[in-house]
Structure 1
Amino acid sequence: MTALAERDSAPPAPEPPAGPGLHRPVRVRPALAGLLIATAVLYLWGLSASGWANAFYSAAAQAGGENWTAWFFGSSDAANSITVDKTPAALWVMGLCVRLFGLSSWSVLVPQALMGVGSVWALFATVRRVSGPAAGLLAGAVFALTPVAALMFRFNNPDALLVLLLVLGAYCVVRSLEQASPKWIALTGVAVGFGFLAKMLQAFLVLPAFGIAYLVAAPTSVRKRLLHLLGALGALVVSAGWYLAVVELWPASSRPFIGGSQSNSILELTLGYNGVGRITGDEVGSLGGAQSSGSWARLLGSEMAGGIAWLLPAAALAIGALVWLTWRAPRTDRTRAATIVWGGWLAVTGGVFSFMSGIIHPYYTLALAPAVAALAGTGAVRLWRARSHPIASGLLSSGVVLTALTAYLLLTRDSTWLPWLKYVVLLSGLAAGVLIVVSDRLPRAGARGVAVVALVATLAGTGAYTVATAATPHSGAIPSAGPGSGGFGGFGGRGGPRNGGGMRGGVGSLLTGTTPGAEMIALLQADAENHTWVAATVGSNPAASYQLASGFPVMALGGFNGTDPSPTPAQFQQYVASGRIHYFIGEPTQITSTGGSDAAEEIARWVAATFTPTTVDGVTVYDLT
């Protein structure tokens, strides 16, 4: 009896690693091609319906396509008044596309869609090297069918490039573990370093998982493992730090103001507004202020759940299952190492997102999607192969049922959208959960049928939600996943308040754009060549709308939030006196922020007191000449 109990509780013997010597079966190639083609169609079809998507970044891409200085620094306008509030790697890609193909919705958005296809391919390659092609294909499919992935790979925020580079970093970790390669672990540092240039310190959240996996599982001595990690750290510092050094050493008088900072410093932006401030909520210049303390339930809450929660509980279950499956494996076991990579990625990034008190938006959860997909794909395939063991079949059955129940709960939140789908998902999940327990006793055809039912149960909900997300145009600063969730710029409903720029409308008007009328466009374009900026207005989003519509630089007073000290009132008055700014758009009002500059408010009040207002297309305009 004791021997029987030990047999039932012990994990099955580990499978041999699917190393580089095990070639892909020929049948995997068409399956991979089909996955990538389907992903490309999903991310590219009807892409231009979103227009400029996030006009804030589209205007910066427009500027970079016209002026190399604006391209290098990530300026909001070609005259280089102020930069966006991020490092500009994603803008480098978009700016080059604009320069090559001209400014259009396609030239701005297609790079992100292609990054999505590349991310699916890279995730497949990473998972396949450890767990085989079946796990790689399943992971790639789960990733492609994650709603937040369809949202952000069809949008022009920096998250697309960030995730592609982080998945490539995971691939390099997996390669480095095969032979304790210092070259591949150094390339991991390079990938994450360039990820920093896409979205700053968020890229570093994967580093604990990557480092621990190499330290634990690399097949060499502890001394060499530490030296290799030190080399990777050096590669990371060089890849991420060269740009910071160049910008800090560049004379401030000959470059744009660093948006998002109060002292014109990219180090302040990195460590403050986009760094520690995101954790503590102490973000100088923010419009919101610190949020209440979070919890793990945040990822399952109403704002974030629709984008990422579909297989999140199953991924957490997969971590425990993979630890059990590899419990008796040697130190260098690559499945356990991969579990550290993906599980650590999910735990650290998910933990920070759950408990941070600063600015966070639902689309940030794209950074969790590769880990969720990799864990789901790897765990499902490993447990399916070991399903003759009662614990393995029980874990797999629990994962399918848990995923179906999660999808059911998510689908019940919208009773009008495909109301029948939640019942199909729940019933098929329950049926698959029962059949999995006895699937090892069925003939091969029957077992395959069970696998198909299980796939339908786990992917139907997230897949339908993903297709609905891709079919919905998205615009503004804060897009969200789901049917009809077009996103918004402020805190209201879809589209947010649209008032034509300036500060009227408060916070919402700063976070959304507008659609300038024909009369306004004609006004801005007339005599435009004789001015450096055809207009100035408070906030980058309103400025971006006028700049994209007119084709000429518009100065964004105060940057994204309207709270950066750029330009100062004295500088603005000097620009006006020299005829460099033609119009001011908008009316003065108060901006409530956490310690930001009030220079933009002061400028708006000075304009209103000094110049005569007129109304164009319902918008207040001051002729500064």
Structure 2
Amino acid sequence: MRARLPLLLLLAGTAVLYLWRLGDSGWANAYYSAAAQAGAQSWQAWFFGSTDAANSITVDKTPAATWVMGLSARLFGVNAWSILVPQALMGVASVGLLYAAVKRVAGEAAGLIAGAVLALTPVAVLMFRFNNPDALLVLLLIAGAYCTVRATGTASWKWLALAGVAVGFAFLTKMLQAFLVLPAFGLVYLLAAPTAVRKKAWHLAVASGAMVVAGGWWVLAVELVPAGSRPHIGGSQSDSVLELALGYNGLGRLTGDEVGSVGGGRGWGSAGWSRLLGAEMGSQIAWLLPTAVVLLIAGFWAADHRRRTGLALWGGWLVVTAVVFSFMNGIIHAYYTVALAPAIGAIIGIGATALWRRRQEPGAAAALSGALAITALQCYLLLLDWSPGLAAAVLVLGLLAAVGLFLSTVAPAAVVVPIAVVAALLGPGAYSVATAATPHSGAVPSAGPDNGMRGGGGLVLIGPGGGRDGGGLLSAPTPDVELVGLLRENSGKYRWGAAAVGSNNAAGYQLGSGVPVMAVGGFNGTDPAPTLEEFQEHVRSGHIHYFLGGAGMPAETGSDASERIAEWVQDTFEAVTVGGVDVYDLTAGAQR
């Protein structure tokens, strides 16, 4: 028990940080909360990842993350805690699994350092307290890395196949982003597993097959179901999961050619090496990123074979993911960088302990000292605008510890090491606590204290008429009591209690009323679902009670069906204002 005490303290501290005041964020990302609500009401909606229980359209991701939230909502009711607690528990599990993976190649101290760095990375605190798919993605990718470590040590095809299964389910969480770790996993096994090259190639083929099965069964099932018997695939112009995976959520993110996207490049900055260190992403992930680069290079020089294998695995993860994030021309948000946090933590844990073992050598002492000095300077720069006093304290403490590390042959380790650890983690730790203390909501959250970017990352786009149209592209409305009562009245007679342009608009009304609301045009309002003719048929058949709001964002690319539907409704039915929202009764017949 005493031997496990440091790990238990790490996990307990992580749990407190991730669960503390968790309910303050409410629905967090209402888009996914609405899908969880739908999944709790309908098994069909749960399987497909529909945004409403009547199955009009799915979320624009594969549904593994909504499966977890939907099951939790079924068991514990639809509320903020049932949706957000699973994410926090995934965070605790991620820290524990990272510790286990790093410990196998570099020992307990390295594992504890890796876990602590992950736990206290601000963007990790944000995403493990939020309900975007990234929490499950990170957990599954760490699981894949752990299995790869086990497989590489013994040349085990079974462990390698399990790694493939983990990555396959990560694909079902966030599509092609899951595959960014594959070059590192495959090359490390091919180069380091203790068996013949022919066997290693066969093992990799088996693992690839396991990945395809784990990630492809749902895709195949959806493609085999006739379009009329399932919801439209959100984010797709042709109602195809494959198009979504390879286009809008795939190659389009690299090239910027994302049919159906709105915003025209606003909100995700310029591509280039400086992106990860810039104003938008730096405070999320860059606290220890330069340190990880230094320790990756120096660690290869100082480490033994086993530690080098670990550095190759996590270094490959870091380099490939960082390059893609830095140079992709499509939509990218700062919270994506949570995928870098496990690799940064692992590299720091392995590299720092490898250098510490050789601290009596001038080169190792200089590398340790330089890495800590860089950490102190980086944290100082990131803290300066938020807390100048803390920034100065971190800089002074870090530089003093850096001197102590350089003089490690004479400086007492019992004094230098604790100061070095505090200096390295104080900055991101303080920012992480501020993140946990701040409610976050909307589609594009940002770690840190209330900085004016909560609830949409500073990009809130609404349709004509302003508040009378409800929410916006990235934020969900909160209907008042009068509107909720109207939506609930006789709602059992209709397949959808209402329809609204855009998934976030629909999500706000649906979560507030508990009534299925059709998201016309999907997330951006640019999906061809439904078409004007299909919507008119739903109205003639009495499937939809009300239409809420206006036309939303004009389409730059993709379908203009939602604009045409909104124009037809406005030309055909009379609007009344309820709770500040224009409401059209689609069962009242033509009024103009």
Q: Do these two structures clear the TM 0.5 threshold for a shared fold by scoring above it?
A: yes
- Deviation string 1:407-459 (CA, Å, 9 cap, x unpaired) is 00001133xxx3310111000111011111112224xxx21110011011101
Counterpart in 1 of 2:583? 621
TM-score of the aligned structures, taking structure 1 as reference length:
0.91
Partner of 1:598: 560
| Alignment match, 1:436 | 405
Specify the alignment match of 2:29 in structure 1.
54
The answer as to 2:287 corresponding to 1:310 is yes
Partner of 2:275: 298
Distance change (3 Å), C-alpha of 1:155 and 1:292: closer
Q: Which amino acid aligns with 1:566?
A: A
**Conserved in 1, the CA contact under 8 Å of 2:30 and 2:504?**
yes
1:379 lines up with 2:351 in the alignment:
yes
Matched residue SS, 1:556: strand
Residue type at the aligned position of 2:290: P
| Structure 1 position 171 matched with structure 2 position 142 | no
> C-alpha displacement at 1:492, in angstroms?
3.3
SS of the aligned residue for 2:576 comes to: strand
Distance in 2 (CA, whole Å) between partners of 1:200 and 1:475 is 23
Corresponding residue to 2:330 among 353, 358, 361: 358
Is 1:547 aligned to residue 522 of structure 2?
no
Q: Is 1:322 equivalent to 2:299 in the alignment?
A: yes
Q: Say whether the 8 Å CA contact 1:504–1:589 is kept in structure 2.
A: no
Secondary structure, aligned partner of 2:279: coil
Equivalent residue, structure 1, for 2:109 = 134
Could you say what secondary structure the match of 1:304 adopts? helix
- Which of the numbers 22, 47, 56 marks the counterpart of 1:72? 47
Contact residue 81 and residue 257 of structure 1 kept, 8 A: yes
> 2:526·2:555 contact (CA, 8 Å) conserved in 1?
no
2:469–2:582 Cα contact (<8 Å) kept? no
Residue 555 of structure 1 aligns to a residue whose secondary structure is strand
Q: Does the 8 Å contact 1:476/1:487 carry over to 2?
A: no
Displacement of 1:336: 1.3
Change (3 A) 1:491 1:101: closer
Contact 1:189–1:236, Cα closer than 8 Å, also in 2: yes
Shift of 1:150: 0.5
How far residue 389 of structure 1 moved from its aligned partner, in angstroms, is: 0.7
Stretches of structure 1 that go unaligned for 5 or more consecutive residues are 1-25
- Structure-2 residue corresponding to 1:251: 226
Mapping of 1:199-214 within 5 angstroms? Answer: 199-214=174-189
Q: Deviations over 1:352-394 (max 9, x none)?
A: 0000000000000000000000011111111112100110000
Is the Cα–Cα contact under 8 Å of residues 187 and 235 in structure 1 kept in the other structure? yes
* C-alpha distance in 2 between matches for 1:585 and 1:562: 14
Aligned to 1:453: 419
Alignment match of 2:244 (pick from 235, 253, 269): 269
Shift in Å, 1:497: 6.2
Deviation string, structure 1 residues 555-591 (Cα, Å, up to 9, x no partner): 0000000000000101101111111101001123651
Match for residue 485 of structure 2? 522
Question: Where does structure 1 differ by over 3 angstroms across 4 or more consecutive aligned residues?
Answer: 289-293, 485-493, 496-506
* Deviation at residue 27 of structure 1 after TM alignment: 3.7
- The unaligned stretches of length 5 or more in structure 2 are 588-592
TM (norm. structure 2) is: 0.96
Q: Which amino acid aligns with 1:85?
A: D
What secondary structure, in the 3-state scheme, does the structure 2 residue paired with 1:622 have? strand
Contact 1:479/1:486, CA 8 A, preserved across alignment: no
More moved, 477-486 vs 513-522: 477-486
What is residue 590 of structure 2 aligned with on the other side?
none
CA–CA distance in structure 1, aligned partners of residues 456 and 285 of structure 2: 22
Once the two structures are TM-superposed, the CA of residue 105 in structure 1 deviates from its matched residue by 0.3
Q: CA deviation at 1:280?
A: 0.2
d(CA) in 2 for partners of 1:61, 1:177: 38
The 2-side partners of 1:59 and 1:612 are apart by: 28
**Helix, strand or coil at the partner of 2:407:** helix
Deviation at 1:268? Answer: 0.4
- TM alignment of 1:143-182, pairs within 5 A: 143-182=118-157
Q: Is the 8 A contact 1:465 1:483 kept in 2?
A: yes
Alignment partner of 2:550 out of 587, 601, 625: 587
- Partner secondary structure for residue 451 of structure 1: helix
RMSD: 1.7
Match of 1:476 among 431, 436, 442: 442
User: After the TM superposition, which of the residue ranges 189-198 and 334-343 deviates more from structure 2?
Assistant: 334-343
1 CA distance for matches of 2:424 and 2:102? 19
Contact 1:500 1:619 in 2 (8 A): no
Contact 1:501 1:509 in 2 (8 A): no
Mapped to 1, the partners of 2:324 and 2:342 lie a distance apart of 16
Amino acid in structure 1 at the alignment position of 2:406: V
Deviation at 1:512, TM superposition (A): 1.1
- Given candidates 17, 22, 31, the residue that maps to 2:6 is 31
CA distance in 2, matches of 1:125, 1:171: 7
Q: What is the aligned residue count?
A: 585
Tell me the alpha carbon deviations over residues 579-622 of structure 1, each in whole angstroms, 9 at most, x when there is no partner.
110100112365132x2100000000000000001111111111
- How far residue 28 of structure 1 moved from its aligned partner, in angstroms, is 3.4
One-letter identity of the residue aligned with 2:275? R
Distance 1:80 1:488 in 2: 30
Q: C-alpha distance in 2, partners of 1:427/1:502? A: 50
Residue 397 (str. 1) matches residue 363 (str. 2): no
Structure 2 vs 1, CA of residues 544 and 27 (structure 1 numbering), >3 Å: closer, same or farther?
same
In structure 2, relative to structure 1, the CA distance for the partners of 1:502 and 1:282 (3 Å cut) is: farther
Q: Distance in 1 between matches of 2:334 and 2:520?
A: 27
1:410 aligns with 2:376: no
Q: Deviation per CA, 1:445-499: give whole Å up to 9, x if none.
A: x211100110111010000000000110000000001111475454637xx4678
SS across alignment from 2:101: helix
Instruction: Confirm or deny: 8 A CA contact 1:500 1:542 kept in the other structure.
Output: no
Identify the residue that residue 57 of structure 2 maps to in structure 1. Answer: 82
Q: What is the one-letter code of the residue matched to 1:454?
A: A
Q: Secondary structure at the match of 1:614?
A: strand
Query: Which amino acid is the alignment partner of residue 323 of structure 1?
Result: F
Aligned with 1:238 (options 197, 213, 224): 213
CA contact 1:298–1:304 (8 Å) conserved in 2? yes
Please report how far the alpha carbon of residue 225 of structure 1 lies from its aligned counterpart in structure 2 after TM superposition.
Answer: 1.1
Equivalent residues of 1:503, 1:591 under 8 A apart: no
Q: Deviation at 1:75?
A: 0.1
Q: How far apart are the structure 1 equivalents of 2:269 and 2:143?
A: 35
Rounded to whole Å, the distance in 2 between the matches of 1:231 and 1:609 is 59
Correspondence for 1:427 among 396, 405, 426 = 396
| Aligned mates of 1:266, 1:372 — CA distance in 2 | 32
Note the C-alpha offset of 1:295: 1.0
State how 1:191-202 maps to structure 2 within 5 Å: 191-202=166-177
Q: 1:226 aligns with which of 201, 204, 210?
A: 201
Determine the C-alpha separation between the residues in 1 that align with 2:71 and 2:315: 36
Whole-angstrom CA distance in 1 between matches of 2:416 and 2:528: 62
Q: Distance in 2 between matches of 1:339 and 1:536?
A: 52
Question: Structure 1's 195 and 589: CA in aligned 2 closer, same or farther, altered over 3 A?
Answer: closer
Match of 2:429 in 1: 463
Q: Contact 2:56–2:519 at 8 Å: present in 1 too?
A: yes
For the residues of structure 2 that align with 1:536 and 1:457, how far apart are their CA atoms?
53
Percent identical among aligned pairs is 62
What's the CA shift for 1:504? 7.4
